[in-house]
Chain A
């Protein structure tokens, strides 16, 4: 009973704070509204007897939103609501598409006869996940690791202003670096 109440409270709050992300007039407030939405959604995951994944989502989202707040301040369009301006384009069309998508998805959710399962739930879902990742689902883990490594490389490449290939040429063949301003040791 209390699980039902908690689920519906968290579900409503997750959607309300998700809507608030695009309603508040400051991007810093939007970040924390998004964090609230993620936390309420994570509580519903915790209610599904998935303590590891629920806590993982909570911890990751807190860190992610703190990092996001920094970038928010870097690229803020309307700092603290001091400079009122429109931050949206085509809001009516977007709203129509979003509402249409929700109606379509909700209809599908309500009319589809979803399969149930009488299979026994595992004693420890975390153990089930860990054994899968180190066994039958190892390919997923390998691809995820590779994707994360590729992400690290490409984020550094994208965010670097002037790297060694800009300074020493594509084949690193220049004797002296090509810098806009001369200077430095021995130059």
Chain B
């Protein structure tokens, strides 16, 4: 176990999440990709706390922040999905391209 190993894991999770967020059509699947990316932040911040500055609490606070961001992202994402599905019967990103420039 080294800092590099943990950061490699975080990079892999982040890239997998990025692929999902970019390629999926369903809004719910996009949120899964975003959650994987936030999960990479959790792993990376925890590893930084352990290896780089265990005497300061900053790394742990970032983990807590990421966990909260995940919960907020999921709640608001589902609320937006519900709102747009209710008003326009849309559950795919390709059908909600109004702002495409």
Contact = CB atoms under 8 A, between A and B. Distances in A.
B partners with A: yes
Interface of A: 3-4, 7-8, 11, 14-15, 18-19, 21-22, 27, 30-31, 34, 37-38, 41, 44-45, 47-50, 53, 56-57, 60, 64, 67-68, 71-72, 75, 77, 86-91, 93-95, 97-99, 101-102, 105-106, 109-110, 114-117, 119-122, 125, 128-129, 131-133, 136-137, 140, 144, 147-148, 151-152, 154-156, 158-159, 161
B96 interface: no
Contacts, number: 231
Interface residues of B, number: 69
B90 to A, nearest CB: 10
A115 to B, nearest CB: 5
A87 B55 contact: no
Contacts of B80: 158
Contacts of B24: 22, 87-88
Given A41-B42, A116-B52, A119-B53, A132 B60 contact: yes
A114 B48 CA distance: 10
B82 A159 contact: yes
A94 B8 contact: no
